[in-house]
Structure 1
Amino acid sequence: MIQLKNYQEEAVTGLLKETYSALKLPGKRNRMVFKAPTGAGKTVTMAAYLNQLAAEMPDKLEFTKRKVAFIWFAPNQLHLQSYFSLKDYFKELRTIKPIQFEDITDGKLQPNEILFVNWQSVNSAKNIYVRENEQGKDLLKYIYTAMLDDTEIICILDEAHYHANGKKAKALLQQISAKIELDVSATPMFQSDYSYTIKRQEVVDAEMIKKNVVLNPLLDHLKQDGRSLNHVLLDEALKKHAELKQAYEKLGSKINPLLLIQLPSDKKSESALDKQLIDEVETYLTAKGITVQNNKLAVWLSNRKDNLDGLEEKECMTDVLIFKQAIALGWDCPRAAVLLIFREIQQESFGIQTVGRILRMPEQKHYTLPILNNGYVYTNLSKDIIKIVQEDIDYIVQNTAKRIEEYQEIHLDSAFINTRLTRNRLSSKFRKCMYEAAEEYFGLSRDLDVTNPESVEAYNTKRLQEKFIELDVNQIEIPIPKNVQLATEIGYTEVTEKETFAKTQSELDILFRQFCRDNVGGYAKADSAPVLELGLKMLFEEYLLLNEFQAIKIILFEQNKSKFIELIDIALNRHQVLLDQKAAQASKRVEHSVWDVPVERIYNEHYKLKEEAEQHALIPFYESNKSSTPEKEFVCFLEQNKAHVEWWYKNGDKNKEDFAVTYEDRNGVMRGFYVDFVIKTKSGKIALFDTKTLDSDPEFVNKHNALIKYIEEKTKADKTLIGGVIVPKGTRDNRTWKYCDNQIEKANDTIGWLSFEPSLI
């Protein structure tokens, strides 16, 4: 079963909350919105949401209708992709039954069925699906019959902005009159008070999608050298593709990045411009050794389908795909990394939805080489006319700095500590914790002495009976008051008779699920309750040879309940100890990599171009809007001493591709220290400095000492390192920079510290 990311779990919880609120609203067609950026995994999130909704609805006594069925509308063939995805997801869970139109039985949608419908097949009144035909199949009749059977209908409008806004679409939705219409999209078509949004940064932080998309429109015409604009763009896109391929190889990965070339016309058939461009592009690519015949080129057009089999595979040998916008919907190719868009100058707005095909990370992780963590777009639209969609302005970036040509690699050892949170759910280790808790609390055993003639199940039965656990439970009964007399005095009720009713097995299953959901402590109920259910059932099977139906009755028997709740608490405590140990080990597990100034770095709008930085290792230099005063002054100092500095580099402060050393903070937790500046002097020495003012950072001493230790360990005959925390002294007109080349005990004076003077290094 697929494991959800943290943000996906939170989305499931949020959607359920909004759904229960919407179900309480009067009337029909209550609108909900689920907004999820491209690459967030909205289909698997929806599957988990539907699974939990179907499981919980029968227990929601506040609703008069506690059965629900779903209709999933999608354009083109996207409904089939979603159908097969959810069918695979639910093949073990079996809470939801994905079906297609021909699978409908008994003349109605059944509870917990989800019908997948191609929007184009039902958006016409003449279509056989929406009017009774010779087989008597009629979508609306199936829906209305389900409603008469007290089943709520929820319509899921997948990619609604593509299909659900037209007159026919609106008319059909009006006829259906579902209780809820849920718009699922990266760009929802309507707003609602009942909505949930997965933020793009959450998906980036989970390393599911790329950090940025770099937009390089209409490159410098002075470098055109007589070539056509189309050839310039093709050259640049192919060059980037080659750089990415080389970067993957450097990391030992066999991923082959894919270059996508999109034709300008959005029409289904190829226009004259399309055909002319296809010929030009194919001729150009042939000269580069990229052809359909050698499988390095794929073509996906209305009248051509070349080399499409296995195109999405990470190691596929195809380098380039020529396509049209029509394939974009639902097509998932995580190795796609570069997009060249030939487009007519009609649409100036540029947003993430335009480049969604190159957002996914091929291995759902970020890399130590920054070039692999970005998507790259080339277009023949002029930079001065492109308008970035406002909400995407910090994601689509146009500021790229490249490493100086004379740079020679320095190969520093860099550390990265993955700080992504452990998911708050019961793990696969919980069953072991449950068994240990049962052996401790009840005295059970699976490992009896061979000389003991008593069977394991007989031995364990005695242990439970000694704890006053009732094992002979044939049925669970619930008392229902009858003939109730209400006295006139407030608060006084006399119950003269009670009648008991036995619970059916299906009712017991519901009660048991609710019992487990109520007793998973602080863990996420969606993922953890099934783990607890299975753990309890397996406990009875392995220690007492009892099946799950007998186990459920014993656990839910009123006089037994409190003891099993106590057992669960012991198991949860044991499990938490395991998680704490794992977290402690994880905090000490450091990923090491060989670091150099990146070949290129992408800067968003939170950085501004600074012209006065000739010696920066990346050209041009972009300075952060959040740079401290000491950082800015140190940059000026380095530039004033450029005669003695080969290059300097302003480091990043959080990513795998940034240079860092490890240190232990005041609480003994291992953390990454991202040193502000890496400097190579003309003498060949490498300086590692972090700018601060005295006592400005509570970790001042710990960071400095960790850096000094690193310098001592890494300095070799062919690589001399110096550095430490460095602080400004004196006035701005008479500024000196002080650092200590030894360990320090306090951070409030610079007695005995050295002055950093590049001319003397």
Structure 2
Amino acid sequence: MGLVDFQIQAVGKLNESMEDQNKEIIFKSPTGSGKTIMLTHFMSDFGKGHFGNVFVWLTPGKGELEEQSKKKMDKYIHNSQTKLLPDVMANGFVENDSCFINWEQIIPKGNNAMKESERANFQEHIRRAQDNGLEFTIIVDESHQNDTVKSDDIISLFKPKKMIRTSATPKTHSNATLIEVKEEDVIAAGLIKKMLVINENFGHSVNVESQISFLLDKALDKQEELKVAFENVKPKSIVNPLIVIQLPNNSEVLQDEVERYLATKDVTYENGLLAVWLDKKKQNLEEIEELDAKPIVVIIKQAIATGWDCPRAHILVKMRENTSETFEIQTIGRIRRMPELKHYETDLLDSCYLYTFDEKFTEGVKLHLRKGAFEAVKLFLKQEHREFSLVSEQKTEVPVANDATEALKSMVLHYEQVYGTSTKTIENKIRLEHNGYKFSDMIIKNTFTGEIHKLTVQEFKNLANVNMTEPLNTHKHGREYHNRVGALGVKLSLPYDQMNTIIRRLFDKNVRYDKKILRLDTREVYAFVINNFKKLREDIQKAMASVLIHPTLNLPNVTERPFIIPKEFLFTYDKNNKVQKVFDSNVYKGYLSSAEVRSDSEKTFEKYCETSSSIDWIYKNGDKGNEYFSIVYLDNFGKQKSFYPDYIVSKGGKIWIIETKGGFTRSGDSEDIDKFSPKKFEVLKRYLHKHNLKGGFVRKDKSNNELFICMNNYNDDISSDEWQLLEDNL
């Protein structure tokens, strides 16, 4: 199974973190992000690049999760060296082992999972491995569930050189390296739903006689709506959306009421539409995870078993109860997966739904998901805007991976522009050396020397830098070279083989390439990559987004389709905001000033349009999906990307397209974190010129709280004349 970009980045960061000074690594990754896939690829990559390592993966629960994780690694990583506890007990630990062990099997709890003689034997296997020079890296899966004295004692036996704690909700640990997979990246990849919608169409106040009938009616109606929508997907989808009902503990009476009410809706155990997953009762659970399984409702009382994966779970009904937030978020995670690992380009199917009167739970979810959870209501397009249309550009249907050939060309151009390189490789070496590159047939390691009298930053800065050298050993440093090349490939989202080809073509005299930068022999290439890893990584990052390399690229196979403003959309807002003003300038009826998610620049821009007498109307564009307005551009490696400008605005009948970006601080520093802004600006300018429209980039200057627009030549300096006061132009 191939990795998507954010997963490749995470694997790279895990590899890098193995070399920092912190012993512990916190790997925070949302449920549904492919945590096991990322970790198994990391384990494989690290093992190829290092000697004497053994991974021990500790899983929670009452069994089976360790077997699931092992099976996944066997599936994703061919010829992987995986073991379960019985394999360890029979054969011990060997270099490059990946051992999957359940806590229940090794923590003494009087459950006889491992007898005293076996426990002693297990410890002997650990000692024997250590005597043989092996080092352990411990991965603690779902680390929030096993953070006890007994578990710590077990970990201590391994004397791990590194420990990786993984969870969607990890506890904080001081002196630990945090690697966090961002929720927005997982959403952008289509693996989890875009949004959690809380209590859709509840309004500001709800009076009900029974929470059971009210909540279940809402859930069943939504299930039917989703089912019809899946059937209308092209090609038709077989997904049968599932409702998860979570009851309080010790609530047999409530459970009985729920079952009886569902029976009045013809949802019963007997006809197979109702399933239950409780400690003492399990029914209709066979193949419930299948996309087209028959049950449409499953009743649970506690968080569904760790490792349970049912991507068709779409709706959660949460009856009142008080439990910990970590416990609850695990349940929310079960309804966030996309059933077919893709978005359907419709808010209805790309969202998941929560219905509850439990305010504490609702606030806990909002606190945890932040921008991923808001109240929602359906808004309808005003009649006068239903005929409006623009030409929207869409990517080709065939997914295109990053192009190694374009990456190679971009690297050559980058070195030419930044360092002045040419085909004269002897001169190139002098230029690179002058700019900080190291050339040696030895491996150079950096350390510091000096005296520290006080633990201050300044005293550490005063330490002298020392270069330690050691002869190149192709056996020892061959693995380090492999590791470094793999890490560089991460920056380009390229596999090791393609990244290695780029390195060899650019720097290895034994590989033919017309625009070679250096001519090094094989041993020198090893040393060059290892000694200059940080410099190479910086130059690759700059080459990726430089607008100087490819200001505009020809766009092959771009599809042009008419864009019509969607007649309805799911509007999310902050219910607790004291200001709930209706913005009449918006194309949708009932659009509120408390709209979320919005950046500071977006909120200020929407308010500006509402108060401006020259603005006819404003439309807030979506950020993903064929139903929204998009423009296509290429990155420097030939990969198509979709750009969704934030707003379409009408002023005096003339259409403007506006993209808002992070503002400028009071001191004039840029807060725009989008490295592709210059490219997006150029492609927007191309589109505006082609279709005879107006527009530009809008940013807020916090030194005066005014909005400024850039329309001609992009500049990241607010003092530039390219930035003009918005009110003088729009």
TM-score, scaled relative to structure 2: 0.65
Q: Is 1:303 aligned to 2:302, yes or no?
A: no
CA contact (8 A) 1:352 1:396 kept: no
Match of 2:218 in 1: 236
Decide which of 205, 209, 212 is 2:195's aligned counterpart: 212
Shift of 1:37: 1.6
C-alpha distance 74-530 of structure 1, shift in aligned 2 (>3 A): farther
1 CA distance for matches of 2:685 and 2:498? 46
Corresponding residue to 1:123 among 107, 112, 115: 107
Q: 1:110 aligned to 2:94? A: yes
The partner residue of 2:289 within 293, 297, 312 is: 312
Query: Deviations 1:534-568 (Å, cap 9, x if unpaired)?
Result: 99xxxxxxxxxxxxxxxxxxxxxx99989999xxx
Moved more, 277-286 or 43-52: 277-286
Q: Distance in 2 between matches of 1:705 and 1:413?
A: 14
2:141 equivalent to 1:167: no
1:370-519 to structure 2, matched below 5 A, reads 370-382=347-359, 386-388=363-365, 390-403=367-380, 415=392, 417=394
In 1, are the aligned partners of 2:241 and 2:313 still within 8 Å (CA)?
yes
Does residue 249 (structure 1) correspond to residue 248 (structure 2)? The answer is no
State the 1:150 CA deviation: 1.0
Counterpart Cα distance in 2 of 1:528 and 1:688? 44
Aligned to 1:439: none
2:620 alignment partner in structure 1: 651
Query: Residue 523 of structure 1 corresponds to which residue in structure 2?
Result: 489
How far 1:377 sits from its partner (Å)?
A: 0.8
Change (3 A) 1:560 1:173: closer
**Secondary structure of 2:19's aligned partner:** helix
Say if 1:218 and 1:383, in contact at 8 Å, map to a contact too: no
> Could you tell me how far 1:152 is from its partner in structure 2?
0.7
Q: Which residue of 2 aligns with 1:609?
A: 580
- Give the Cα–Cα distance (whole angstroms) in 2 for the partners of residues 162 and 512 of structure 1: 39
Counterparts of 1:597-636 in structure 2 under 5 Å? 597-603=567-573, 609-613=580-584, 616-622=587-593, 623=595, 624=598, 625-627=600-602, 632=607, 634-635=609-610
Q: Does 1:46 align with 2:69?
A: no
**If you compute each CA radius of gyration, which structure gives the higher value, 1 or 2?**
1
The answer to whether the 8 Å contact 2:392/2:630 transfers is yes
Task: Please point out which of 330, 338, 341 is paired with 2:315.
Answer: 338
Distance 1:35 1:421 in 2: 28
Q: Which amino acid aligns with 2:567?
A: V
Give the C-alpha shift of residue 55 in structure 1.
Answer: 0.9
1:144 aligns to 2:127 (yes or no): yes
Letter matched to residue 193 of structure 1: A
Give the drift of 1:86.
1.7
Q: 1:362 aligned to 2:339? A: yes
User: Is the CA contact 1:241–1:338 (under 8 Å) kept in the aligned structure 2?
Assistant: yes
Within 5 A, what are the aligned runs for 1:693-704? 702-704=686-688
Asked if 1 retains the 8 angstrom alpha-carbon contact of 2:304 and 2:331, the reply is no
- Name the CA distance, whole Å, in 2 between partners of 1:690 and 1:157: 49
SS in structure 2 of the partner of residue 650 of structure 1: strand
Look up the match of 1:98: 82
In the alignment, the residues of structure 1 paired with residue 35 and residue 603 of structure 2 have an alpha-carbon distance, to the nearest angstrom, of 40
Q: Work out the CA distance in 1 between the residues paired with 2:608 and 2:525.
A: 67
2: CA distance, partners of 1:677 / 1:202: 25
Unaligned stretches of 5+ residues in structure 1: 59-65, 431-506, 536-557, 566-575, 642-647, 710-723, 727-746, 749-755, 757-761
**What CA distance in whole angstroms lies between the structure 2 residues aligned with 1:381 and 1:519?**
51
Q: Matches of 2:384 and 2:309 in 1, distance apart?
A: 38
1:310–1:672 distance in 2 versus 1, CA, 3 Å: same
Q: Which residue number in structure 2 is paired with residue 79 of structure 1?
A: 66
1:351/1:396 contact within 8 Å kept = no
Distance 1:416 1:131 in 2: 66
- Give the C-alpha shift of residue 298 in structure 1: 2.0
Q: 1:13 — aligned with what?
A: 12
User: Is 180-189 or 244-253 further displaced after alignment?
Assistant: 244-253
State the one-letter code of the partner of 1:651: K
CA change 1:516–1:238 in 2 (3 A) is same
Paired amino acid for 2:73: L
Assess if the C-alpha contact under 8 Å between 1:299 and 1:323 holds in 2.
Answer: yes
Q: After the TM superposition, which residues 181-192 of structure 1 pair with which residues of structure 2 at under 5 Å, given as runs?
A: 181-191=163-173, 192=175
CA contact (8 A) 1:663 1:702 kept: no
| Counterpart code for 2:151 | A
SS in 1 for 2:568: coil
TM-score scaled by structure 1? 0.62
Q: Deviations over 1:313-332 (max 9, x none)?
A: 22333322222324242111
Deviations 1:124-153 (A, max 9, x none): 1646565543x7973212211111111112
Deviations 1:494-546 (A, max 9, x none): xxxxxxxxxxxxx99888766767778963499633568999xxxxxxxxxxx
Distance 1:361 1:705, change over 3 A: same
Where 1:289 maps in the other structure, the secondary structure is coil
Tell me: CA distance 1:510–1:400, structure 2 relative to 1, closer, same or farther (3 Å): farther
Q: 1:178 aligns with which of 160, 165, 187?
A: 160
> What one-letter code is carried by the residue in structure 2 that aligns with 1:38?
T
Inter-partner Cα distance in structure 2 for 1:510 and 1:232: 67
Determine if the alignment matches structure 1 residue 202 to structure 2 residue 169. no
- What amino acid is the match of 1:15? L
C-alpha deviation, 1:391, in angstroms: 4.9
State how far apart, in whole Å, the 1-side matches of 2:209 and 2:225 are: 22
Cα deviation for residue 265 of structure 1 reads 2.9
Alpha-carbon distance in structure 2 between the residues aligned to 1:321 and 1:390: 26
Equivalent pair of 2:47/2:96 in contact (CA under 8 Å)? yes
Q: Structure 2 matches for 1:661-676, cutoff 5 A?
A: 662=631, 674=645, 676=647
> Alignment RMSD, CA only?
5.3
Q: 1:50 Cα deviation (Å)?
A: 0.5
The unaligned stretches of length 5 or more in structure 2 are: 409-472, 503-519, 528-542, 544-548, 661-680, 697-721, 724-729
